[in-house]
Amino acid sequence: MARVGVFICHCGENIGRTVDCAAVAKAAEAFPGVVKSVDYKYMCSDPGQQMIKDAIRDERLTGVVVGACSPRMHEPTFRRAAFEAGLNPYLLEMANLREHCSWVHEDRPVATEKAIDLMRVMVEKVKKNAELRPIRVPVEPTALVIGGGIAGIQAALDIAGGGKKVILVERSPSLGGHMARLSETFPTLDCSQCILTPRMVEAANHPNITLMTYSEVTKVDGFIGNFEVTVRQKARYVDPEKCTGCGACFEKCPAKKIPSEFDAALGNRTAIYRPFPQAVPNKPVIDAEHCIMLTKGKCGICAKVCPTGAIKYDDKDREVIVKVGAIVVATGFELWDHSAYGEYGAGRLEDVINGFQFERLASASGPTTGEIRRPSDGRIAESVVFIQCCGSRDPKRGVPYCSKICCMYTAKHAILYRHKVHHGRAVVFYMDVRAGGKGYDEFVRRAIETEGAEYIRGRVSRIYRRKDGRLVVKGADTLAGRPVEIVADMVVLADAIVPQPGASRLAQMLGVSYDEYGFYSEAHPKLRPVETAKAGVFLAGACQAPKDIPESVAQASAAAAKVLGLFSQPELEREPIVAKVNEVTCVHCRACIQACPYGAIEDKEIKDSKGNLIRTVACVNEGECQGCGTCVAVCRSGSIDLDGFTDEEVLAEIAALE
Amino acid sequence: MKILDASKLSDLADTLAGAGYRVVVPVQDGDRVRYAEWSPGATIRTDAFPVNSAKDFLFPRSEVIDRYQLDGDDFTPLEVRPPAPRTVLLAVRPCDAASLAMLDTIFNWDYEDDLYNARRAATTVVPLVCTRADAQCFCTSVGGAPDSSAGADALLHPADGGSRLILEPLTDKGKALVEAAGGALADGKAAPDAPADVPARFDPDKVRAWLADNFEADLWDLLSYACLGCGACAYACPTCHCFDMQDEATRTESVRLRNWDSCGFALFTKHAGGHNPRPDQAARWRNRVMHKFSYIPERFDLVGCTGCGRCARLCPAGMAMLEACTRIEEEARKAPAHES
Amino acid sequence: MDLAKLRQDAAALLADGRAGLVIGFRERAGACVPAFVTDADQADALVYDDTCIANLAAYLRKPEIRQRRPVALVARPHVMRSLILLKAEHQLQGDDVLVLAVGDDTYHGVLTLAEAERLLNETYADLATDAQVLAEIERLEQMSPEERARFWSEQFAKCTRCYACRAACPMCYCERCIVEKNVPQWISTAAAGHGNYAWNVIRAFHLAGRCIECGACEAACPQGIPLMLLNALLAREARDQFDARPGYDAEAEPVVGSWNKDDDEGFIR
Amino acid sequence: MTQTSTKPDAATGADAAAQPWSPRIVAFVCNWCTYAGADLAGTSRLQYAPNVRIIKLPCTGRIDPLFILKAFEQGADAVLVSGCHPGDCHYTAGNYHARRRWGLFRRLMEFTGIDAKRLFFSWVSAAEGQKFADLINAVTDEVRQAGPFDPTNPARKRPWT
Amino acid sequence: MSPDTESAAAPTREHRNIYQPIPMTVADRRDETADVRTLRLEFPGDAERTRFFEAYRVGQFGLYGMPGQGECVFCVASPPTRTDAIECTFRQAGRVTAALRDREVGQRITFRGPYGNHFPIEQWKGKNLLFVAGGIALPPLRAVIWNILDRRDEFGKVAILYGARTVADLVYKHELAEWDARDNVDLVQTVDPGGETDDWRGKIGFVPAVLEEVAPKPADTIALVCGPPIMIKFTLPVLAKLGFPAADTYTTLENRMKCGVGKCGRCNVGHLYVCKDGPVFTVEQLKAMPHADM
């Protein structure tokens, strides 16, 4: 027989003022199954908790209902007390007599009556409650970091530094990401590569980090603590074991006119190439699409010149499966394609470039060795117009959100330009300047006040090319309220930040949700900004939303901290509010499987002793189930139930209100 | 001879209702005809086969058979005495009247079920002789007849080409009813119409003999393919009497219900542990045939079927007892039962 | 309709072992009832006409029928939709059944499930709800809630809980129906009052977005309860609100159990 | 739900007859948004009608239509279902599932004779304490206007005979 | 005239509701295993007690119930020789058994019975008795065993073979010890291989195998077998091989029942009602049944 203890808290005057706590306790005493019912001034105090513990022991209670404040407040407190007294904590429930009753009603009899109902509901529930035990899942203490940009590198280094293994997967042949392409960084103007490359090398050499460049994730199975990830290592055609990185191959490669991705197509590379001189690993790959040997079957020069015989034309893509306990997604961003803006030349005007292209022009290692020359004819640009919010904050043709970093990098571009072309004119069109951040506003002010950049508030309506090859930029100065027309050698568009192409495909693989643009969704926008709704998958950097470098790094370190926290114990303990399938009555209609937001329900084959398939049923993976119960409500045969909120418990609650 | 105009049957119902009877008659209900308690304005239909049988009024599909007041962890038994109103089953089919013998036996063969008995004792049965039969009628194959008076307290005969009805009392209850009918009946003369011609379609003894030897016959699979395992046949059947007992409770009161049940349901015999002695529909349909044509005859010397044909008329899958029995008889002819 | 061809095909399927059983209809005492043909020489008994309402797909849940896979079914378009939907709900494998497809007074020949799906989408893509049923639904919708309650009170009072509706429905394939669950007891077992209401309403809801409107349940009901009013109402709502077209696409997601960000929420405060 | 405080746990029947009728409303709410919104109404000391009894579930996605049926069966005059706004679901999509389910189920309820005036759906976030209080007041008022749920409605449990 | 409903409706004798049980009070409860419990039940009064024991013969069963939950069938596990109370032993398996199990001493349950036939022990006077039981099926035989032991002089040798899956699954452990200690009872206990504990002194092996090994003599002996279907299936051939005639070998059937009084139509095996014609059958009778479901 159920032996339920009822404990009514006065919460000082908070409950007692409007609810007659003694009357509630007395009424509850008459509920079937209640063997003890008392009221007390402060149930959450030590003596109050002791009262519950004593009753659990003395009265051999099989359930406890505490009528007090919201369970959000003290449920953990009372459940701990129950546990300490030897009662399974899930046999304790709270009735919310304060937030839901005494604080919102004034009439004492009415509030008392409602309190009695609330108590009855929980008493009826607790009588049906089952003992639940925390779920333990083993954890594979290896992390997978997807993306070798600054966020991925940082996360990998932090996790590795914490003593755990990391597999770092990068799609391109080298670590570094976008940051490696930048000339200087705002607001300090320190050299991007100078601060990044040591970290790249550190990552490559760290004993806890396994680097997988030129590789992509193709499949993700499993769940928190126990993921199985398939990684496709693309054929490099160069044996990394043999290659010394001497460079003889790409110096001799005859296929030379291939636009360099790294230089944003402002420079060229060979078919066998390394993306940039500081690449990590510093070993070339062959671009099979452009390699004469691989496309036409003749050439073979690189193999001839390679002193170590590292060239392997018969190399093949390989798939490896890695087992990891956590995944950090740091896939970064891409720039929006401004060809949608016809009035800006729709991408056809050579001298209308984007921010990355300007970075490469300004970079000492870039195609112009740092001189700001026009792509069309290589002349030094005497006048440059920078246009902010290109695609950003334009719900009609671009994206509605603010890309956040463009104000800053445009100011940086203007400053860099003025440093390099002292007499040059730098004009910035802006909608408004958003420079929240340490030293950021000062930096923009410096561009305007010290470095002589001309800031014009307004939109550019048209850019066209004059006969002399220079560009005419027509717009409006909305502060002055007049049209402006500026002749420029070059226009730099601050294109919107968008997710990497294929971001949604990866999200689907991971089971991570994403917004309508393809940015990955955090589990909670305020309190869980690093986690995703998929347990064990964390976010770092601009794959979640536009971010600058320090933010990306901060989030990467946060993700690493989450991973290390997860790996700090051999097993994962989770609240046992999970769904359970009745395999006897399940008819495998798969409604639950389709409805589960977490992909936590799978097929399970039931076989006889000889291994013959008898039937297939649904099976909940306790590691993945988050306990929402959506599956329960779609199951027509009542074959799936949610621990902690079982059908029987809920029906008992409803019946208590009859 | 007590007679009345066939068109005045509703007047008779009115009179009997006025005399304190609960009058059960076949009435139009939507596109069906069913036995229902007479209410003025209803249309009596004696020309179509009702979807329910007379048992509804003696052994209702759900009834409370036990009841408790719940007091916390204890309970107080409450008396259960379902109402047993004085009832007349008027113009029911002779096959329905005949079924009562079967039910009387079941509810009294050992323990006496007074819930049933009280209603039975208060019921006067007045069947109407059938002058038409349809393809599913086979009362004559199971010892009945379209003009059978089995189970009847009085008998209504169509007469004068269907224009009149003769009411012939057979028992004291029947006589009391005639008395209660008073002016609704006239003294007079009428020529009874010939009862329907219902040819005998099979011999139940032959069927029984075959069943005794053929529990494991392959035929059962074939006979039961069409069965979808619902309870339409059992619930329509005037002699099916299987029931389930289920408790239902509020916080303050509980009742024990007796609900109709059917051996055609897969869960009927299924154990909590999963084992089912009748694992497939063939075993369940076999039980239905065996029960009516072997077990009941064996035990009570009755045929457990009155040949009303309702099961076949109402089966959504075209299962038919008549067809099964004729088929079995055919088998029996092919391979005569062992002499033993 | 070319009945001779249908019989010939049925016989051939059995004769060459492509089907272990053909389920169709035969005539008995002036009515059509399901027929189970295991030998080629019995195929001549097969008939088909508009009174063949029973949805033979319901038989596929019987283990003894499944044992004879592949099974060939005489199927009108609605029945083909049941089969597609059963496949979508993982109750059928594509090669479990063959279809002897009939429709619009035409015999379409022996089809695989995939071919039946194609035929449905090409020729029977717009199977409409029975106009009379729709008119009756609209009539009821004009009533006050109290009148509707009275209407259904009278209808549900007839229900004996024989579960013929469930048995006749191919989509009611649960091995233990919710109505038979007693821990907890969801639905009163008494064939009366709220138990009958809950049973009929929940059965209808369990078919929401899944009912292919074959009408077999209503035809099966011995008591004449107009069950199709409930099913057609929900079919209409699922179609209007969520573009549901059950049984036309074996890959489709279930209507209840999936969602769209733009689903109507005008009724939500 | 008893309507007296003198004999708090007495059977409903006799006492309810003696008391003026007051709506009995059962609310099924999700733990993360509406339950928390109700908490906020409490901490903000917003006063509202005392007629609603909350049953907490993890998510509106958990709410089986049968819960609603059961509440009506057992005497509720109205049922309120409330959860997270679209996009806010703690479990990402439970409320979307629920929304679609109610979109169909409420039609069925209306069609079978349960007045739409007795079925309420809402989104109340954890921040919307005021909305919660207003909602409860509005619902209670509307149910009061609609009157008691007809005891002869087919959905209602009736005493055994 | 207006017919008098009452007089016509009233049966000639007093109206009795055969489905109405009597309340019984839990006088004691014992855990036999983790999920098997024994309840000792006292009658509400002497009249009920006397009425019960006038009818009760060993092997009969009853329906034990909790209002609001339902009724469940178990044998009466105590002998007719002990007339102060009755006992039942059951495994918690569903809604009703869970409710019964929850009952505390002093609380009440409902009871109907005794129902069904019984073991014909009066015909066995002077004969030897062999009891073979497995797991949770010892209770019906336990009632017979105590009945015999309470009238020890009237019967010949008593041998008991009892087996369970594991040592923990053996029920009535204290009584097993008591039987073991008696010199007029020959008790052999066994557990399935792997089910033994370090201090287990009984045999290790399945019941049929141990039976074959022990090889009791069939002469003038009645055999009673109760156990799970699989055990019965393999035990009966062993008994036959040892020479026990089918007519002298008894077992019980446990079909699903609801009413217990031969009405509800659920328990029939052929034309026999297990609730009326059973639950006790000889193996000879079982063989004649159409599908004796063992």
Q: Which residues pair with B29 in a beta bridge?
A: B32
Host domain of residue A378: 335-498
pLDDT one-digit tens code per residue, B100-127: 989 999 999 999 999 999 999 999 999 9
Inter-chain CB proximity A638 and C181 less than 8 Å: yes
Q: Which residues on A lie below 8 Å from E107 (Cβ)?
A: 1
The C-alpha atoms of residue E255 and residue E266 are separated, in whole angstroms, by 8
Q: Which residues pair with C185 in a beta bridge?
A: C182
The C-alpha atoms of residue A544 and residue A329 are separated, in whole angstroms, by 9
Find the CB nearest A651 among C176, C184, C256: C184
Q: Which residues on A lie below 8 Å from B70 (Cβ)?
A: 32
The C-alpha atoms of residue B136 and residue A306 are separated, in whole angstroms, by 96
Inter-chain CB proximity C163 and B230 less than 8 Å: yes
Domain range annotation of chain E:
22-115, 121-252
- The secondary structure of chain B in percent helix, strand, coil, rounded to multiples of 5, reads 35, 20, 45
Residue A1's pLDDT is what?
Answer: 67
Q: Which residues on A lie below 8 Å from E103 (Cβ)?
A: 1
Residue E291's pLDDT is what?
Answer: 61
Domain range annotation of chain B:
2-187, 204-334
- Is residue A656 one of the residues assigned to a domain? no
**What is the nearest CA distance from B278 to chain E, expressed in angstroms?**
9
Please state, for a pLDDT cut of 70, what percent of chain C lies above it: 100
**Nearest residue of D to residue B248 by CA position?**
D160
Please state, for a pLDDT cut of 90, what percent of chain C lies above it: 90
ipTM of the complex model: 0.91
Q: Give yes or no for a contact between B54 and B35, defined as CB atoms under 8 angstroms apart.
A: yes
Please state the pTM of the whole predicted model: 0.82
Q: How many domains does chain D have?
A: 1
Q: Give yes or no for a contact between C267 and C160, defined as CB atoms under 8 angstroms apart.
A: no
Q: What is the DSSP string of E53-106?
A: HHH--TT-EEEEEETTTEEEEEE--S-TT--S-EEEEEE--SHHHHHHHHPPTT
Q: How many domains does chain A have?
A: 5
> Which residue out of E95, E96, E97, E258 would a mutagenesis test of the C interface target, given it has the greatest number of C Cβ atoms within 10 Å?
E95
**What is the nearest CA distance from B29 to chain E, expressed in angstroms?**
28
Peptide bond into E279 cis (omega under 30): yes
Inter-chain CB proximity D100 and C268 less than 8 Å: no
Return the half-sphere exposure (C-beta side, CA atoms, 13 A cut-off) of residue A190.
6
- Is residue D157 one of the residues assigned to a domain? no
**What is the nearest CA distance from E197 to chain B, expressed in angstroms?**
28
Per DSSP, A490 falls in state E
What is the assigned CATH class of domain C131-242?
Answer: mainly alpha
Please state, for a pLDDT cut of 90, what percent of chain B lies above it: 87
Residue A345 and residue A321 in one domain: no
At A431, give phi and psi (nearest 5°). -90, -50
The sign of the CA dihedral D101, D102, D103, D106 is: positive
Residue A95 and residue A32 in one domain: yes
pLDDT one-digit tens code per residue, A358-414: 999 999 889 999 999 999 999 999 999 999 999 999 999 999 999 999 999 999 999
Residue B72's pLDDT is what?
Answer: 77
For the record, the structure tokens of C103 come out as: 């429709």
Q: Give yes or no for a contact between C215 and C53, defined as CB atoms under 8 angstroms apart.
A: yes
Q: Which CATH homologous superfamily contains domain E22-115?
A: Translation factors (2.40.30.10)
pLDDT one-digit tens code per residue, C182-226: 888 899 999 999 999 999 999 999 999 999 999 999 999 999 999
Q: Which residues on C lie below 8 Å from A596 (Cβ)?
A: none
Find the CB nearest D160 among B83, B252, B255: B255
Place of tokens 């009966």: E236
Q: Is B218 helix (H, G, I), strand (E, B) or coil?
A: coil
Inter-chain CB proximity D161 and B64 less than 8 Å: yes
pLDDT one-digit tens code per residue, C125-156: 989 899 999 999 999 999 999 999 999 999 99
Which E residues 31-90 touch B at CB under 8 Å?
65, 67-71
Answer whether residue A534 shows pLDDT above 90: no
Answer whether residue B144 shows pLDDT above 50: yes
**What is the nearest CA distance from C15 to chain B, expressed in angstroms?**
19
Find the CB nearest A658 among B70, B73, B251: B251
**What is the nearest CA distance from B62 to chain C, expressed in angstroms?**
5
**Nearest residue of B to residue A657 by CA position?**
B251
Q: Give yes or no for a contact between B310 and B49, defined as CB atoms under 8 angstroms apart.
A: yes
For the record, the structure tokens of E49 come out as: 């007690």
Per DSSP, A531 falls in state B
Name the average pLDDT for chain D: 88
Give the closest residue to B152 by CA, choosing from B181, B127, B116, B173. B127
Inter-chain CB proximity A32 and B274 less than 8 Å: no
Residue A486 and residue A388 in one domain: yes
Name the average pLDDT for chain A: 94
Peptide bond into C184 cis (omega under 30): yes
Q: Is E213 helix (H, G, I), strand (E, B) or coil?
A: helix
Count other C-beta atoms under 10 Å from residue A535's C-beta. Answer: 23
Chain B with chain C: Cβ pairs closer than 8 A: 118
Residue A324 and residue A343 in one domain: no
Return the beta strands (E) in chain C as ranges. Answer: 21-28, 31-37, 71-75, 97-103, 106-111
Find the CB nearest C257 among A584, A587, A595: A595
For the record, the structure tokens of A477 come out as: 């100065």
Count other C-beta atoms under 10 Å from residue E205's C-beta. Answer: 16
pLDDT band at C59 (very low <50, low <70, confident <90, very high): very high
Residue E4's pLDDT is what?
Answer: 42
- Is residue A531 one of the residues assigned to a domain? yes
Q: Which residues of chain E have a pLDDT value below 50?
A: 1-11, 292-294
Instruction: Give the mean model confidence (pLDDT) for residues A349-364.
Output: 94
Domain range annotation of chain C:
3-123, 131-242
Residue A446 and residue A531 in one domain: no
- Is residue A107 one of the residues assigned to a domain? yes
pLDDT band at C111 (very low <50, low <70, confident <90, very high): very high
Q: Give yes or no for a contact between A23 and A114, defined as CB atoms under 8 angstroms apart.
A: no
Chain A residues bordering chain E (beta-carbon distance below 8 Å): 1-2
Please state, for a pLDDT cut of 90, what percent of chain A lies above it: 85
Residue A464 and residue A372 in one domain: yes
Q: Which residues on D lie below 8 Å from B67 (Cβ)?
A: 160
**What is the nearest CA distance from B170 to chain A, expressed in angstroms?**
53
For the record, the structure tokens of C106 come out as: 């035409």
Residue A321 and residue A356 in one domain: no
The C-alpha atoms of residue A596 and residue D61 are separated, in whole angstroms, by 10
Inter-chain CB proximity A633 and D38 less than 8 Å: no
Residue E168's pLDDT is what?
Answer: 94
A103–D contact, CB cutoff 8 A: yes
The C-alpha atoms of residue E231 and residue E135 are separated, in whole angstroms, by 10
Residue A538 and residue A451 in one domain: no
For the record, the structure tokens of A166 come out as: 């990391």
The sign of the CA dihedral C175, C179, C180, C186 is: positive
**Nearest residue of B to residue C223 by CA position?**
B51
**Nearest residue of A to residue C251 by CA position?**
A594
Q: Which residues on C lie below 8 Å from E94 (Cβ)?
A: 183
B20–A contact, CB cutoff 8 A: no
- Is residue D161 one of the residues assigned to a domain? no
Q: Report the Cα–Cα distance between both ends of chain B, in Å, rounded.
A: 52
**What is the nearest CA distance from B326 to chain C, expressed in angstroms?**
13
Place of tokens 């007693």: C182
Q: Which residues on A lie below 8 Å from C91 (Cβ)?
A: 587-589
Q: What is the DSSP string of chain D?
A: ----SSSTTS-HHHHHHHSPP---EEEEEETTTHHHHHHHHHHTT----TTEEEEEES-GGG--HHHHHHHHHTT-SEEEEEEPPTT--TTSSHHHHHHHHHHHHHHHHHHTT--GGGEEEEE--TT-HHHHHHHHHHHHHHHHHH-SPPTTSTTS-----
Residue E128's pLDDT is what?
Answer: 95
For residue D150, which amino acid is it? Answer: D
Answer whether residue A296 shows pLDDT above 80: yes
Please state, for a pLDDT cut of 70, what percent of chain A lies above it: 100
Answer whether residue D12 shows pLDDT above 50: no
pLDDT band at A115 (very low <50, low <70, confident <90, very high): very high
Burial class of residue C265 (count of CB atoms within 10 Å of its CB; 0-12, 13-18, 19+): middle
Architecture field, domain E121-252: 3-Layer(aba) Sandwich (3.40)
Distances (CA, A) of E81 to E57, E74, E184: 10, 19, 19
**Nearest residue of D to residue A29 by CA position?**
D9
Q: Is A73 helix (H, G, I), strand (E, B) or coil?
A: helix
Residue A384 and residue A469 in one domain: yes
Q: Give yes or no for a contact between C248 and C212, defined as CB atoms under 8 angstroms apart.
A: no
Instruction: Give the mean model confidence (pLDDT) for residues B79-98.
Output: 93
Q: Which residues on B lie below 8 Å from D160 (Cβ)?
A: 64, 67, 253, 255
Tell me the CATH number at D67: 3.40.50.960
Q: Which residues on C lie below 8 Å from D153 (Cβ)?
A: 149, 153
Instruction: Give the mean model confidence (pLDDT) for residues B2-9.
Output: 93
Q: Which residues on B lie below 8 Å from E3 (Cβ)?
A: 19-21, 86, 176, 180
Count other C-beta atoms under 10 Å from residue A323's C-beta. Answer: 13
- Of A86, A101, A128, the residue at which a domain comes to its end is A128
Per DSSP, B8 falls in state G
Residue D14's pLDDT is what?
Answer: 44
The C-alpha atoms of residue D133 and residue D110 are separated, in whole angstroms, by 26
Residue A137's pLDDT is what?
Answer: 84
Residue A328 and residue A446 in one domain: no
Answer whether residue A221 shows pLDDT above 90: no
Residue B336's pLDDT is what?
Answer: 59
Count other C-beta atoms under 10 Å from residue B66's C-beta. Answer: 24
